[in-house]
Amino acid sequence: MASLAEAHGTPLYVYSGEQIDERFGLFQAAFHDRPHTVCYAVKANSSLAIMRRLAKLGAGFDIVSGGELERVRKASRAALKRVVFSGVGKQVWEIDAALDAEILLFNVESVSELELLAERAKALGKRARFALRVNPDVFAETHPYISTGLSEHKFGIDIKQARAIYKRAARLKWLDAAGVSVHIGSQIRKVDPFAAALERVTALIAELRRDGHDIRYVDAGGGLGIDYGAGEFDPAHQVEKYATALEKGLGGETAHLLLEPGRFIVAQAGALVTRVLYVKKNGAKTFVITDAAMNDLIRPSLYHAHHEIVPLKQARGVSVKVDVVGPVCESGDFFARDRELVRVKPGDLVALLDAGAYGMSLASNYNTRPRPAEVMVEGAESRLIRRRESLREMLAGEQA
């Protein structure tokens, strides 16, 4: 990694292609016995290189915007037919683009969206396959910002109202009520809530079938959590537990299963490599100031998320308690607080681990900082998959 940092500069996102493939393979294997499609959640990391390699393995994609649809088109035109479109605020141009691309499924989140979808489908002469994203009112333990399955959240449609809405939709010939979907939140470590949510969805599907709807898809959403700590983590075991929970929730239901994992596939395949700029003391505190900041990786600032930090050279040595912070002008710009870290000095490289998901995809230009470069490692080889943003590119759209 140190040589990559020398070659491409820092901050630098580095990904392991092999680990991404492996993680995708775990889902394929765990659900082998049932017809399924793994629709990778593009928002977790929308790098075209990552998307293309997943598409080659047969992945579909869970998208939430017209922009992400465009990414699928660039990564793999063949994968367009394996796209599910989620999100509470789809706009006309986005719906039109998705209808035109003949995606697999619209995950509809409100009655007004369903009405708009019917209208646009008619206008374009395309029949729209949809699933209502139901809100199962199931609690899943995670950070409040990324929990979505309770009725107090903005997501989905109250599961109790769903049947009546499907009934109304059946009268519109431009709509094809093809599935039911659910997503209860993200970074969920205990798998029981997934089973509970799916049980409710499966019961609804049985009712819908009795009402005469031809339900072929059940979308279980994403959300399977990883371990951000330093301990042992067995991803294969975690996916197996997840699969067992989903099987339990599905019972005898045989509809084609759609999955929308994001984090689990890419988080641990990525690290953010950054260089120490300064080390300084303020009173009792020692600050390690890195060239990466909250604009490059916002998870610690936004969710108080823990990311392991490891110096690239001296893994062992005297350790000191430090705050690792970036150059952005906010006290919330930190990667770690009061963390025991091997003593580092200006010029040293450190890696923030498990940064492959919701790292680069949430990066911004705050403080007019160009976004990092990204490199994909493949065995002994490596490839620049996105060059560092230049000052010129950053200012290109502006007029003084």
Which one from 329, 380, 396, 400 is the annotated catalytic residue? Answer: 329
Closest CA to 17 of 376, 394, 384: 376
Asked if residue 389 belongs to a known ligand binding site, the reply is no
Name the segment binding ligand LLP (CB under 6 A); options: 15-23, 124-132, 181-189, 203-211: 181-189
Check binding of 258 to ligand LLP (CB under 6 A). no
Q: Provide the token pair at 207.
A: 């009712």
Asked if residue 146 binds ligand LLP (CB under 6 A), the reply is yes
- Number of residues written out for the chain: 400
- CA distances 246 to 19, 136, 258, Å, are 24, 15, 11
Chain position carrying tokens 């949510």: 197
86 is a contact residue toward ligand LLP (CB under 6 A): yes
Q: Is 87 annotated as a binding residue?
A: no
Structure tokens at 258: 């759609």
Residue 356 found at the interface with ligand LLP (CB under 6 A): no
Residue 358 binds ligand LLP, judged by CB under 6 A = yes
From the list 136, 179, 193, 261, which residue makes contact with ligand LLP (rule: CB under 6 A)? 261
- CA gap 44, 21 in Å, rounded: 15
Q: Is 332 annotated as a binding residue?
A: no
From 136, 222, 270, 372, residue interacting with ligand LLP (rule: CB under 6 A): 222
* 100: Cα within 13 Å, side-chain hemisphere: 10
200 is in an annotated binding site: no
Q: Which of 11, 221, 270, 311 contacts ligand LLP by CB under 6 A?
A: 221
For residue 39, indicate whether it is catalytic. Answer: no
Separation of alpha carbons 108 and 180, rounded Å: 9
- Which one-letter amino acid corresponds to residue 253? E
Quote the CA–CA distance of 263 and 248 in Å, as a whole number: 23
For residue 15, give the 3-state DSSP assignment.
Answer: strand
Q: 269-289 burial string, b = 16+ CB within 10 Å, else e?
A: bbbbbbbbeebeeeeeebebb
Site string for ligand LLP, 26-45 (x = CB under 6 A): ---------------x--x-
Task: Indicate the annotated binding residues for substrate.
Answer: 263, 299, 303, 330, 358
Positions marked active-site: 329
Give me the residues that bind ligand LLP (CB under 6 A), please.
Answer: 41, 44, 62, 86, 146, 183, 186-187, 221-224, 260-264, 299, 303, 357-358
